[in-house]
Amino acid sequence: MGRTIILLYGIASYLLFLGVFLYLIGFVWGAYVPKGINDGEVGAFASSLAIDVFLVALFGIQHSVMARPAFKRIWTTIVPATAERSTFVLLASACLVAMYAYWQPITDTIWDFRGETLGDAFLGASAFGWTLVLVSTFVIDHFSLFGLKQVIYGFVNREMPTPNFVIRGPYHLVRHPLMLGFLIAFWATPWMTVGHLVFATAMTLYIRIALHYEEKDLQEVHGSEYESYQRRTSMLLPFGFFK
């Protein structure tokens, strides 16, 4: 791959991610997109549940496996190192697109506060969660996280700087505010159906498992600095919960 092609590939992957991420907000909210989490023909419960769990598992496996350093070492013998993160982003986006396309609604209602004050509060909390996700990506270097910086540095033939361990913004409160934002966004809904509950529960399990391995990777990279950070800062919730 030439440097120009890799640059264009990285830009295209990033732009696709932006569209897919915005669609995820609409998908979870059930608004502003052609198909939300509760839209579509309702099928048999067992088959719908199996498909939905498989779709979340597909995303989780892709996300977790490709994020591991051991996999990256092998993978970068196949794809250029500067395109590794963009490829990760591209395939993660593809898994989410598959989820949007094939998600099976299960519309039995657990709670429904649409049109009520509590429902508006849930929407506000969800909007806060999405905002926390976005802010957290910029705090830790948004453009590196989604592969754009790597392809730009590769295009100008410069080495990526070694990341330093720095605590900024919401990372003073919890170690993983980005994931906390996702959890808030997924669970805070005015209309909780069984299908939405399956999505939120499966994503929560994936996040908790993924963080276990991510914490190990961060310990290996940053050593005692990260271990000290672990001791004084909660993983997901402030005030000492989920250490």
Counts of helices then strands in the chain (DSSP H, E): 10, 2
Domain residue ranges in the chain? 3-232
pTM of the model: 0.93
pLDDT of residue 240: 58
- pLDDT per residue, tens digit, the chain (243 aa), is 689 999 999 999 999 999 999 999 999 999 999 999 999 999 999 999 999 999 999 999 999 999 888 899 999 999 999 999 999 999 999 999 999 999 999 999 999 999 999 999 999 999 999 999 999 999 999 999 999 999 999 999 998 888 888 899 999 999 999 999 999 999 999 999 999 999 999 999 999 999 999 999 999 989 999 999 999 999 998 865 555
* Count of alpha carbons within 13 angstroms of residue 105, beta-carbon side: 17
Q: What is the DSSP string of 154-196?
A: HHTT-PPPPPP----GGGGTBS-HHHHHHHHHHH--SEEEHHH
